């Protein structure tokens, strides 16, 4: 764990949880807009309810948004208030697409997910949120 992270279990009250899924040197990330930085990327995640376990929250987020189950879920730490896990997806199709758009019928919003190579962050300056996560991978 790097200086920017705390143990996942240290933050039982995390407001958000997210999960890193990798395919070799690529990370599955959600495109988001930060008011200060513009386009940023973050692992798919969800808000954590008061009575919910952060791991349960990320499992539910992947099941609801993508219809996939997670296995080998491991806590990476808490970065900038986000409890982050790493896992593998059980459904192979997820690794076959370059990216996809997910529609949430409850909110009417769409989310763009894509596989970005580590070099997109290292060489090309893309931003991975939360702060400190990239250094912890």
Query: What pLDDT sits at residue 101?
Result: 92
Whether 56 and 50 have beta carbons less than 8 Å apart is answered as no
Instruction: Identify the band that residue 34 occupies on the pLDDT scale cut at 50, 70 and 90.
Output: confident
* pLDDT mean over 17-23: 96
Closest CA to 33 of 111, 102, 97: 111
Whether 116 and 44 have beta carbons less than 8 Å apart is answered as no
For the whole model, what pTM was predicted? Answer: 0.85
Query: Which domains are present in the chain?
Result: 5-136 (3.90.79.10)
* pLDDT mean over 98-103: 88
Q: CA-based Rg of the chain, rounded to a whole angstrom?
A: 14
Instruction: Identify the band that residue 10 occupies on the pLDDT scale cut at 50, 70 and 90.
Output: very low
| Strands 38-42 and 16-23, sheet pairing | unpaired
Instruction: Please enumerate in sequence order all residues whose Cβ is within 8 A of that of 64, keeping only pairs 6 or more positions apart, or say none.
Output: none
Least confident window among 25-29, 38-42, 71-75: 38-42
The number of residues making up the chain comes to 137
């Amino acid at each position: 764990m790097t200086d920017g992270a705390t143990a996942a279990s240290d933050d039982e009250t995390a407001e958000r949880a997210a999960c890193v899924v990798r395919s070799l040197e690529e990370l599955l990330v959600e495109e988001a807009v930060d008011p200060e930085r513009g386009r940023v990327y973050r692992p798919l995640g969800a808000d954590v309810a008061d009575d919910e376990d952060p791991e349960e929250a990320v499992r539910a987020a992947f099941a609801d948004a993508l219809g996939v189950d997670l296995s080998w879920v491991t806590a990476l730490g808490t970065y900038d208030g986000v409890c982050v896990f790493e896992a593998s997806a059980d459904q192979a199709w997820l690794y076959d697409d370059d990216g996809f758009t997910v529609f949430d019928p409850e909110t009417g919003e769409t989310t763009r997910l894509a596989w970005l190579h580590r070099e997109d962050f290292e060489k090309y300056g893309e931003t991975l949120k939360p702060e400190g996560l990239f250094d912890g991978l």
